[in-house]
């Protein structure tokens, strides 16, 4: 069954959307990136979207929300399934039928490829179903470059707050307490505070040499998800904003997606204060895990051996994130389902050129 997702503003939130979001929240592999509002967010910024699903005895049992956009200077249309599809990988018939639906959606949108990036942890996913799928699809499915960071750190929120603190590195616990001693306060922001967040994240991007979204993107994310599924926390000293994070909660999972800080008063450790406040918010929401969302894609032994020497890419934030004591996890990665080999080569050329 197909359910077309229209551009934001054309259709109000519907019963079908509510049913889908409930399915995603209850699914063991469900993710914020498969929700209706995530599609609506992307629809504001040059993506379109379509949802495909399967029913059994009237109940949703599998599905995928596919995002589509032009790439390689508009010469190729790509599809992308972030943290999906949601399917029983051990049920080959279910997988076959759902991928037929995905293929049909790609055909409707004239997509040359569909990038598939499920939220499946490498240490938990039985190899057999995934490898069986890869073999069946043959050269139509190849390893692709990831869009979401494949490796992350997950903090277990089920213990008490004291136990969560105790599981952190001693220096991180010290810095959380030091921020309080140095009169850093943290407040929960409102929509008008997105302006402050954008100022801070622009400063962060310039300082740490990474790209940031347009200011309207962060505002749209906050408008769509807050207050039920998102919160903005701002650390201040004497009313001066020093650090901010935007965190999201969906089902049992919370995630730290966006963070920013100023160049001022860094010795007061505002980044630690604001992150600790976000962790407490996520736990109070009933989440059982807190995703630090992205660390260097290297084995844990290499992470521990090199984090003090390296500062490139995600290495620059790993030292901070590791201090919170999470478990290092890696997804199985991304595969590209190819429908047009010539256009796929063009896509790869363009990606490699951008990366270089």
pLDDT tens for each residue of 191-215: 999 999 999 999 999 998 888 999 9
Does pTM surpass 0.85?
yes
Residues 6+ positions from 6 with CB-CB distance below 8 Å: none
pLDDT at 350: 78
Residue 200: name the closest of 136, 122, 270 by CA: 270
Distance of alpha carbon 319 from alpha carbon 135, whole angstroms:
39
Q: Which two tokens stand for residue 290?
A: 């807190």
Q: Is 283 helix (H, G, I), strand (E, B) or coil?
A: helix
Pairing label, strands 240-250, 48-56:
unpaired
Most distant CA atoms of the chain, gap in Å = 62
The DSSP annotation for 207-253 comes to HHT-----HHHHHHHHHHHTTTTEEEEEEEETTEEEEEEEEEEETTE
Structural domains in the chain, sorted by start: 2-146+332-355 (3.40.630.30), 151-330 (3.40.630.30)
The parts of the chain modelled with pLDDT lower than 70 are 1-11, 72-73, 127-130, 132-144, 354-356
Q: Which two tokens stand for residue 339?
A: 């429908």
Query: Each residue of 286-334: pLDDT tens digit?
Result: 999 999 999 999 998 999 998 888 888 788 889 999 999 999 999 988 8
Residue 139: name the closest of 320, 341, 354 by CA: 341
């Amino acid at each position: 069954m197909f359910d077309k997702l229209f551009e934001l503003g054309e259709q109000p939130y519907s019963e079908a959307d509510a049913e889908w979001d409930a399915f995603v929240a209850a699914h063991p592999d469900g993710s914020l990136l498969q929700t209706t509002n995530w599609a609506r967010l992307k629809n504001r910024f040059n993506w379109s979207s379509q949802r495909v699903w399967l029913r059994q005895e009237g109940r949703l049992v599998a599905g995928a929300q596919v995002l589509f956009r032009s790439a390689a200077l508009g010469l190729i249309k790509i599809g992308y399934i972030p943290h999906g599809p949601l399917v029983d990988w051990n049920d080959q018939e279910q997988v076959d039928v759902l991928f037929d639906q995905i293929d049909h959606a790609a055909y409707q949108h004239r997509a040359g490829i569909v990038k598939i990036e499920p939220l499946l942890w490498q240490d938990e996913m039985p190899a057999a179903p995934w490898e069986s799928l890869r073999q069946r699809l043959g050269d139509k499915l190849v390893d692709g470059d990831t869009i979401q960071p494949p490796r992350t750190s997950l903090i277990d929120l089920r213990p008490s707050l004291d136990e969560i603190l105790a599981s952190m590195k001693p220096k991180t616990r010290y810095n959380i307490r030091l921020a309080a001693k140095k009169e850093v306060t943290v407040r929960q922001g409102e929509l008008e505070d997105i302006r402050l967040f954008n100022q801070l994240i622009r400063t962060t991007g310039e300082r740490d040499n990474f790209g940031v979204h347009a200011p309207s993107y962060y505002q749209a994310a906050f408008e769509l998800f807050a207050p039920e599924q998102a919160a903005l926390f701002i650390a201040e000293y004497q009313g001066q904003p020093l650090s901010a994070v935007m965190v999201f909660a969906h089902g049992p999972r919370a995630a730290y997606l966006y963070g920013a800080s100023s160049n001022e008063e860094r010795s007061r450790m505002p980044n630690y204060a604001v992150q600790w406040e976000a962790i407490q918010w996520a736990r109070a929401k009933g989440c059982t895990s807190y995703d630090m969302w992205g660390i260097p894609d290297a084995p844990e032994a290499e992470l521990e051996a090199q984090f003090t020497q390296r500062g490139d890419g995600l290495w620059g934030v790993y030292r901070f994130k590791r201090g919170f004591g999470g478990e290092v996890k890696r997804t199985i990665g991304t595969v590209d389902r190819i429908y047009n080999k010539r256009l796929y080569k063009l896509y790869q050329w363009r990606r490699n050129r951008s990366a270089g």
